[in-house]
Amino acid sequence: MNNPIHLSDRCLVRVAGDDARDFLQNVITNDMKHAGVGRLVYSCLLMPQGFVLHDFFIGQDDAGYFLDCETARVDDLLRRFAIFKLRAKVSFTRKAGNVYADSRGIADPRLATLPPRLYATETIEAEPVAAYHDICIRKTIPCGSLAITERDTMADVNLDLLNAVAWDKGCFIGQEVAARMYNLSKAKRRIVTINSATPMAAGAKVVADGKDMGEVRQLSSDGLFALAQLKVAVLAENPPILQTGEGQPLALSVPDYLP
C-alpha cells in the first residue's frame, strides 16, 4: 500500500474517568494490559450468549484511552456500555479526529500484513475506504457489520484467530460460551475469501452439490471477490466445488491463519 486510505466509516470515542481501564477490562474480550501509547488492542463486546455485538480497537494517547469504532453503530455501542456502567466512574464522548490506513501509523494487532492505523486531527489526502475493504477481503479480514452479524459467535467470523480475545485474562461478558467453543473446537462455520469471474451479490447463497454451504457476506468494490461464511466441511483437504445459488463457479481462498 503506497497511499494513505481514509477509513471514513470509522470514528473515535474518548474513554475517561477513574474507572475507565477497569470498566473496559471487565466487559471486553481482550486484555487492557496490551493497550498503550503506540500499541492497539483489538477487541469485542459480546452478548451474554456469546454472540458478537461490536468489534473495535482500543488505543491510548497522552489524554487517556480511546476507541476506534464503526461510525454507523457507535451510538449502539455506547448504549450497550451504558447498560454495564452502573456506578463505574467512566464516561464516553466523541473525539475529534480521522482514521487512516497509513504506513506511518500503529500496527494493526489482527494481522501483521494489514496496513497500520493512523489517527490524525488534520485531513490527509487519501484514497477512499473501499480500497481498504478490498485489502481486507483479500486477506480474509471481516470489516465490522459489513461481514459480522449479531447472530455470529467470534469463531463464526474468525475473530478468535485474529487476536480479539485474551483467553487467560479472566471474566468478560459472554466468556463462558466463547471459551467453550474455543476449547472444544466447536466452530461450525468460518469466514473465507471467494472469487468469481462475474460480480456476486451480498447475501447470495453458496452451494456445493446442491447443498447449502453458506452465504456471501462482504463484497469487494468490483464484486468479484468477497468474504463468505461457509461450513467448515468446505475447508476439508479435498473441498467440494462451490457455486452461488445461481450457478456461478466460485474459487476458494483459505487464509494462512485459519487452522
Let me know whether 21 and 119 are in one domain.
yes
In this predicted model, what pLDDT tens digit does every residue of 193-238 receive, in sequence order?
999 999 999 999 999 988 999 999 999 999 999 999 999 988 876 7
Q: Residue 173: inside a domain, yes or no?
A: no
DSSP strand E in 34-140: where? 41-46, 52-61, 64-70, 91-95, 98-106, 117-120
In this predicted model, what pLDDT tens digit does every residue of 69-124 receive, in sequence order?
999 999 999 999 999 988 899 999 999 999 999 999 999 999 999 999 999 999 99
What does the pLDDT read at residue 186? 73
Let me know whether 15 and 105 are in one domain.
yes
Q: Give CA angle at 23 (21, 25), nearest 5°.
A: 70
Torsion of CA 168, 10, 156, 199, to 10 degrees: -150
Let me know whether 122 and 192 are in one domain.
no
Give 86 or 35, the one with higher predicted confidence: 35
Q: What CATH number did the domain enclosing 88 receive? A: 3.30.70.1400
Q: Residue 245: inside a domain, yes or no?
A: yes
pLDDT band at 1 (very low <50, low <70, confident <90, very high): low
- Residue 216 domain boundaries: 188-253
Domain end residue (candidates: 93, 109, 127): 127
Q: Residue 142: inside a domain, yes or no?
A: no
In this predicted model, what pLDDT tens digit does every residue of 45-74 receive, in sequence order?
999 999 999 999 999 999 999 999 999 999
Q: Residue 163: inside a domain, yes or no?
A: no
Domain end residue (candidates: 127, 146, 169): 127
